[in-house]
Structure formats: structure tokens, C-alpha cells
């Protein structure tokens, strides 16, 4: 049974095929309108979501399939003490594929071990978010026309930002990509990730201000400070507005830099940036639906062939 738990579960070639399929789905949506008729997606969200859950549901509905699920642990039998494994084994009797989000790192992996249907990690704690990364990769490829030879700046909460961890894992596999990690010292990328980059000879720098690196960047990936992961509210309040991207700061950026954000946004990008042609975060949202259509299609096909 093939699952998507970590973005590196897929080879670079598989990701290229997936993005090609997503591009075709964007260009020819009618061709896929009935492609998953009779199939059921379950969305099990033990944590809040707008984009990930609804884009998965929209993806399945756009292909003629059906959806069921829950959007909080409180409305499932988890509230009565049911284990994750029992929930997954139960829901697997009602559906063909499961997308799950959970506050505990590793929960989708644990769930996949006893699952009879493909499991998609839709975000596990502060760890990984591989389907956001597929969205980011499709957006980068559509905006820049390439995946290689780029300086990628990641800014904000790089410690708890799961989208950052998955994106570094994915982009570090392309030739000529280097990273500029912009964060306060308290919110640096976890050491296991920078150690891995160093071991593989992937260039990266760690800085504390976006101004000092802005002219170098081809991509600026902004992130929210993840309030829900902090142990201490005072620390969150002290750090939450460390970075606010505004038109003044963008003056020093390349004319063709792309600004991405997984969203939701709080204060870290001023609304006045939204009309800048370099701001691609709402196109990124739209891409998320199509890349999840492609992902569901791939995993269901592989499950049938297994």
C-alpha cells in the first residue's frame, strides 16, 4: 500500500509526473470530471484547517468522487478515547483513501502502518506537510518555469513551520538550489534539517533580517508564527510580528521574485502587497486543488494495482 507521509516518499521523477498531471488537470478539467466516480475520500482532521481540508474535498468532488469525514477530534469517537489505529481501521471500511491532519508528529505514519487504504499526511504537528509542498512545487514551476538554480528564502517561524521542513526536503533535491533561512534565533530551522543540508553539501545561510538578503532571492516563502505550537504565550507575543513584508521592503527585491505563503496569513504580509505581481499566494491556493486531484489519482491507481 503506497502512502504519502513525507515528501521524499516520492522520487523527483514521480513529482515531475504528478506536477505534469496537475498542469493537465488545470488546462483540461472536464477530461477528469468523472475520473473518480464511485470512489470515496475521507478527510480526518484532528486540527483546524481551511485550505487543506477543503481543497482535498474540492479535488475529489471535481473528479466525480464523494467525501466524508470530520473537521475536529471533538466530533469523532477520539473524544471517547478511541485510538488512532482503531479510527483508521474503522474509516478504512468506509472509504478508498484517507487524508489526515493531526497535532502529533508522526501520527499519519503510525496510522498508515495498519491502514487498508492509502493515507495522506495533511500536516502532522510541527513536523511535515507534504501536500502543501506539492502545492508549493507546482506554484514555483508554473511561476518560474523551472525548479533548479534558485535562491530560496524562507522567512518566519522555521522551527514549528511544517511547510518549511517539507519544502526544504523537496527543493534540496534540485540542482543549484540554495537556501536563505531568515528567522529569529528562537525560531531557527531544527538542527536535524541543517545537519542534513550540510552533510549533502547543499548551500544555506541563516540570517535574522530579510532586508540584508532581499536582493538575492528568487523565491521568498513567508510563514506565520505558529501560535498553537508555543508553550508560552509571552514568547509568541514577543516574536509574532518579527517580520512584516511590505511594499517598502520589496523595493530591494528582484523584479521577478515570487512571494509564496502557505497561508493562513496573520500580520507577516501587509495586505498592500497583495496587488504586487510578485505576490502569488492566492494562485498558490488554487494550485493546491489541482495538485491534490493529481495526488488522489496517483495513489488510487497504485492501490488498485497493488
Task: Write out the residues near ligand CP by the rule CB under 6 A.
Answer: 49-52, 123, 132, 262-264
| Active-site residue identified among 52, 78, 87, 139 | 52
Nearer to ligand CP, 69 or 123 (CB): 123
Please, what's the largest Cα pairwise distance for the chain?
55
CB of 199 to ligand CP, least distance (A): 29
Q: Strands (DSSP E) along the chain, which ranges?
A: 40-45, 66-70, 97-102, 119-124, 150-155, 177-182, 204-207, 219-222, 258-260
Q: Is 254 a catalytic residue?
A: no
Point out which residues pair with 192 in neighbouring strands: none
* Closest approach of ligand CP to the CB of residue 52, in Å: 3
> CB of residue 216 vs ligand CP: minimum separation in angstroms?
26
Shorter beta-carbon distance to ligand CP: residue 168 or 197: 168
The C-alpha cell at 190 is 531544527
Q: Has 251 been annotated as catalytic?
A: no
By residue count, the chain amounts to 306
Nearer to ligand CP, 214 or 262 (CB): 262
Q: Are 166 and 5 in contact (CB under 8 A)?
A: no
Q: CB of residue 263 vs ligand CP: minimum separation in angstroms?
A: 5
Residue 223 and residue 161 in contact, taking contact as beta carbons nearer than 8 Å:
yes
Instruction: Please check whether residue 154 is in contact with residue 162, taking contact to mean a CB–CB distance below 8 angstroms.
Output: no
Looking at the DSSP bridge assignments, the partners of residue 119 are 98
133 given a catalytic annotation: no
In the chain, % helix, strand, coil (3-state, to 5) comes to 45, 15, 40
**Is 129 an annotated catalytic residue?**
yes
Choice between 50 and 85, CB closer to ligand CP: 50
Give me the least distance between CB of 45 and ligand CP, in Å please: 8
Which DSSP symbol is given to 106? T
- Catalytic, 116? Answer no
From the candidates 3, 127, 129, 240, give the one annotated as an active-site residue. 129
**Catalytic sites, residue numbers:** 51-52, 80, 101, 129
Amino acid at each position: 500500500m503506497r502512502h504519502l507521509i513525507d515528501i521524499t516518499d516520492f522520487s523527483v521523477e514521480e513529482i515531475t509526473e504528478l506536477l505534469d498531471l496537475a498542469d493537465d488537470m488545470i488546462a483540461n478539467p472536464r477530461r477528469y470530471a468523472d475520473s473518480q466516480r464511485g470512489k470515496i475520500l475521507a478527510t480526518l482532521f484532528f486540527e483546524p484547517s481551511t485550505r487543506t481540508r477543503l481543497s482535498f474535498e474540492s479535488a475529489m468532488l471535481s473528479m466525480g468522487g464523494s467525501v466524508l469525514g470530520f473537521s475536529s477530534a471533538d466530533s469523532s469517537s477520539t473524544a471517547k478515547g478511541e485510538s488512532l489505529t482503531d479510527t483508521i481501521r474503522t474509516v478504512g471500511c468506509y472509504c478508498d483513501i484517507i487524508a489526515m491532519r493531526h497535532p502529533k508528529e508522526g501520527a499519519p505514519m503510525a496510522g498508515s502502518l495498519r491502514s487498508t487504504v492509502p493515507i495522506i499526511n495533511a500536516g502532522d504537528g510541527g513536523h511535515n506537510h507534504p501536500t502543501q509542498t506539492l502545492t508549493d512545487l507546482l506554484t514555483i514551476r508554473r511561476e518560474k518555469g523551472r525548479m533548479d538554480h534558485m535562491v530560496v528564502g524562507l522567512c518566519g517561524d522555521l522551527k514549528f513551520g511544517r511547510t518549511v521542513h517539507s519544502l526544504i526536503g523537496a527543493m534540496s533535491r534540485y540542482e543549484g538550489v540554495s537556501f536563505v533561512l531568515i528567522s529569529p534565533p528562537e525560531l531557527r530551522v531544527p538542527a536535524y534539517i541543517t545537519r542534513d543540508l550540510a552533510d549533502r553539501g547543499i548551500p544555506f545561510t541563516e540570517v535574522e533580517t530579510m532586508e540584508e538578503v532581499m536582493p538575492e532571492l528568487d523565491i521568498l516563502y513567508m510563514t506565520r508564527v505558529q501560535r498553537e505550537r508555543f508553550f508560552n504565550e509571552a514568547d509568541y507575543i514577543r516574536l509574532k510580528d518579527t517580520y512584516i513584508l511590505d511594499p517598502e521592503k520589496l523595493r530591494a527585491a528582484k523584479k521577478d521574485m515570487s512571494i509564496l505563503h502557505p497561508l493562513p496569513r496573520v500580520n507577516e504580509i501587509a495586505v498592500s502587497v497583495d496587488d504586487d505581481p510578485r505576490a502569488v499566494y492566492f494562485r498558490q491556493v488554487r494550485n493546491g486543488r489541482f495538485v491534490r486531484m493529481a495526488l488522489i489519482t496517483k495513489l488510487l491507481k497504485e492501490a488498485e494495482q497493488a
